Amino acid sequence: MSLALVVVTAAQLLDLGTFVRMIGLHGPTAEANPLVAGLLVGHGVAFVAVAKIAGLALVVATIVVLAGRDGAPLRHGRLAAMVAVAAIVAGLVGGWTNAGSILAGIV
Protein backbone atom coordinates (compact mmCIF):
# COMPACT_ATOMS: atom_id res chain seq x y z
CA MET A 1 0.00 0.00 0.00
CA SER A 2 2.98 2.32 0.48
CA LEU A 3 3.64 2.42 -3.25
CA ALA A 4 0.00 3.32 -3.87
CA LEU A 5 0.29 6.26 -1.46
CA VAL A 6 3.42 7.51 -3.24
CA VAL A 7 1.70 7.26 -6.63
CA VAL A 8 -1.43 9.02 -5.31
CA THR A 9 0.72 11.84 -3.96
CA ALA A 10 2.76 12.12 -7.17
CA ALA A 11 -0.37 12.20 -9.37
CA GLN A 12 -2.01 14.87 -7.25
CA LEU A 13 1.17 16.97 -7.14
CA LEU A 14 1.40 16.65 -10.93
CA ASP A 15 -2.09 18.13 -11.10
CA LEU A 16 -1.13 20.94 -8.72
CA GLY A 17 2.13 21.74 -10.50
CA THR A 18 0.57 21.88 -13.95
CA PHE A 19 -2.32 23.92 -12.53
CA VAL A 20 0.06 26.55 -11.15
CA ARG A 21 1.92 26.73 -14.47
CA MET A 22 -1.32 26.91 -16.48
CA ILE A 23 -2.68 29.73 -14.33
CA GLY A 24 0.64 31.57 -14.61
CA LEU A 25 0.47 31.43 -18.39
CA HIS A 26 -3.26 31.84 -19.08
CA GLY A 27 -4.82 33.33 -15.95
CA PRO A 28 -7.78 32.10 -13.88
CA THR A 29 -10.08 31.76 -16.89
CA ALA A 30 -8.08 28.71 -18.00
CA GLU A 31 -9.42 26.66 -15.07
CA ALA A 32 -12.43 24.58 -16.14
CA ASN A 33 -13.53 23.55 -12.63
CA PRO A 34 -15.87 26.28 -11.37
CA LEU A 35 -15.18 25.50 -7.71
CA VAL A 36 -11.42 25.80 -8.16
CA ALA A 37 -11.83 28.89 -10.37
CA GLY A 38 -13.95 30.54 -7.69
CA LEU A 39 -11.40 29.75 -4.98
CA LEU A 40 -8.64 31.04 -7.21
CA VAL A 41 -10.36 34.35 -7.97
CA GLY A 42 -11.54 34.83 -4.39
CA HIS A 43 -8.46 33.73 -2.48
CA GLY A 44 -5.48 33.27 -4.83
CA VAL A 45 -3.17 30.48 -5.89
CA ALA A 46 -1.72 29.94 -2.41
CA PHE A 47 -5.15 29.18 -0.99
CA VAL A 48 -5.90 26.71 -3.78
CA ALA A 49 -2.53 25.00 -3.21
CA VAL A 50 -3.18 24.68 0.53
CA ALA A 51 -6.68 23.33 -0.16
CA LYS A 52 -5.21 20.78 -2.60
CA ILE A 53 -2.61 19.63 -0.07
CA ALA A 54 -5.25 19.39 2.67
CA GLY A 55 -7.50 17.34 0.39
CA LEU A 56 -4.57 15.11 -0.50
CA ALA A 57 -3.82 14.55 3.19
CA LEU A 58 -7.45 13.59 3.77
CA VAL A 59 -7.40 11.10 0.88
CA VAL A 60 -4.10 9.56 2.01
CA ALA A 61 -5.39 9.25 5.58
CA THR A 62 -8.58 7.61 4.32
CA ILE A 63 -6.60 5.06 2.33
CA VAL A 64 -4.38 4.28 5.33
CA VAL A 65 -7.34 3.80 7.67
CA LEU A 66 -9.19 1.61 5.19
CA ALA A 67 -6.13 -0.53 4.47
CA GLY A 68 -5.23 -1.13 8.12
CA ARG A 69 -1.81 -1.28 9.75
CA ASP A 70 1.29 -2.81 8.22
CA GLY A 71 1.47 -6.48 9.09
CA ALA A 72 -2.15 -6.63 10.18
CA PRO A 73 -4.78 -8.22 7.97
CA LEU A 74 -6.38 -5.82 5.52
CA ARG A 75 -9.66 -4.49 6.79
CA HIS A 76 -11.06 -2.96 3.64
CA GLY A 77 -8.29 -3.54 1.12
CA ARG A 78 -10.46 -3.38 -1.98
CA LEU A 79 -12.10 -0.14 -0.90
CA ALA A 80 -8.70 1.36 -0.06
CA ALA A 81 -7.45 0.32 -3.50
CA MET A 82 -10.51 1.83 -5.20
CA VAL A 83 -9.99 5.15 -3.40
CA ALA A 84 -6.31 5.09 -4.38
CA VAL A 85 -7.11 4.34 -8.03
CA ALA A 86 -9.73 7.12 -8.13
CA ALA A 87 -7.23 9.61 -6.66
CA ILE A 88 -4.53 8.52 -9.11
CA VAL A 89 -6.84 8.79 -12.11
CA ALA A 90 -8.14 12.19 -10.97
CA GLY A 91 -4.59 13.53 -10.56
CA LEU A 92 -3.43 12.19 -13.91
CA VAL A 93 -6.49 13.49 -15.77
CA GLY A 94 -6.13 16.89 -14.10
CA GLY A 95 -2.43 17.04 -14.91
CA TRP A 96 -3.06 15.89 -18.49
CA THR A 97 -5.76 18.48 -19.14
CA ASN A 98 -3.68 21.23 -17.54
CA ALA A 99 -0.69 20.24 -19.67
CA GLY A 100 -2.93 20.30 -22.73
CA SER A 101 -3.98 23.85 -21.89
CA ILE A 102 -0.37 24.87 -21.40
CA LEU A 103 0.69 23.37 -24.73
CA ALA A 104 -2.34 24.80 -26.56
CA GLY A 105 -1.18 28.27 -25.62
CA ILE A 106 2.31 27.60 -26.91
CA VAL A 107 1.34 26.11 -30.28
Q: Closest Cα to residue 19, out of 9, 7, 31, 34? A: 31
Report which DSSP code applies to 73.
Answer: P
Look over the chain and give the mean of its residue pLDDT values, rounded to a whole number.
Answer: 91
pLDDT at 74: 65
Q: SS3 of 21, please?
A: helix
pTM, two decimal places: 0.87
Report which DSSP code applies to 34.
Answer: H
6-57: pLDDT as tens digits? 999 999 999 999 999 999 999 998 998 899 999 999 999 999 999 999 999 9
Alpha carbon distance 77, 73 (integer Å): 9
